[in-house]
């Protein structure tokens, strides 16, 4: 049965089974321009939805905005609309000296330091990417001779710090690669709704820096990494 997805304002019968997502509506538009027969499906709030095809396979690209609660609305409606694979094309701050701005990280799982998922699933429930999606992303990066860092990332809600210090050092010591704001929501919703999920991230700086002064994702280095990760995600999703 076809239905209009409430916040995305996309008709479920128009939604492809394979969906790429990203925070920034401008990034969604740019990635959509790479597709054959690209068309806008709908724009509502931060959710801009496009569809088209890549190497003959139909897919959608949808923006989810900043932060897990708003992104979860997008992921839930995509699942309700019949999406079977969702891959996030994001940016992240690095936790490790060898992972530098312009590098690409493939997330295998997310530490759940967001506030949303503890209201969805019990404590201790893991936020894990689908192993086939992870493999497809790793294979696609390899095919493009693009080195990547593969491992655990962390999802939190705080971007600009307040009075409380976030314990970055603990997670750095534990070997977490990078930090962003939506992967745990994506992986958790994927697990409970039966959607295969994954995420690839362009590094734009260091997550424990003073982001008020040091955050700048608008560099050529980061733009090139985002373009490269978009191609990797496009190549990967058609094999899922």
Ligand X SMILES: O=c1cc[nH]c(=O)[nH]1
Residues with active-site annotation: 204
| Segment interacting with ligand R1P (CB under 6 A) among 97-105, 106-114, 161-169, 178-186 | 178-186
Alpha carbons 69 and 159: distance in angstroms, whole number = 14
Is the Cα torsion angle 205, 210, 212, 214 positive or negative in sign?
negative
Alpha carbons 95 and 203: distance in angstroms, whole number = 10
Site track 116-155 with ligand R1P (rule: CB under 6 A), x = hit: ----------------------------------------
Closer of 180 and 208 to ligand R1P (Cβ): 180
* By the rule CB under 6 A, 93 interacts with ligand R1P: no
Q: What is the CA radius of gyration of the chain?
A: 17
Alpha carbons 62 and 34: distance in angstroms, whole number = 14
Alpha carbons 203 and 186: distance in angstroms, whole number = 19
* By the rule CB under 6 A, 180 interacts with ligand X: yes
Smallest separation (angstroms) from ligand R1P to the CB of 97: 21
Closer of 23 and 198 to ligand R1P (Cβ): 23
Q: Which residues bind ligand R1P (CB under 6 A)?
A: 22-24, 66, 90-91, 159, 180-182
């Amino acid at each position: 049965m076809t239905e209009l997805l409430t916040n995305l304002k996309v008709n479920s019968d128009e939604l492809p089974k394979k969906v790429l997502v990203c925070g920034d509506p401008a990034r969604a538009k740019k990635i959509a321009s790479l597709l054959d027969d690209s068309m806008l499906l709908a724009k509502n709030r931060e959710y801009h939805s496009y569809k088209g095809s890549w190497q003959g396979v139909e897919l959608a690209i949808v923006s989810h905005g900043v932060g897990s609660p708003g992104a979860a609305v997008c992921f839930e409606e995509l699942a309700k609309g019949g999406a079977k694979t969702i891959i996030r094309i994001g940016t992240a701050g690095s936790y490790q000296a060898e992972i530098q701005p312009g590098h690409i990280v493939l997330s295998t799982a997310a530490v759940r330091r967001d506030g949303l998922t503890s209201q969805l699933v019990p404590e201790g429930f893991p936020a894990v990417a689908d192993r086939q999606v992870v493999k497809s992303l790793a294979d696609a990066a390899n095919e493009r001779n693009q080195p990547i860092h593969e491992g655990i990332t962390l999802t939190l809600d705080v971007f600009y710090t307040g009075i409380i210090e976030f314990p970055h050092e603990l997670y750095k010591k534990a070997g977490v690669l990078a930090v962003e704001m939506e992967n745990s929501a994506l992986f958790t919703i994927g697990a409970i709704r039966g959607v295969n999920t994954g995420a690839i991230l362009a590094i734009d700086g260091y997550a424990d820096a003073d982001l008020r002064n040091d955050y700048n994702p608008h560099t050529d280095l980061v733009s090139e990494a985002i373009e490269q990760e978009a191609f990797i995600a496009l190549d990967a999703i058609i094999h899922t």
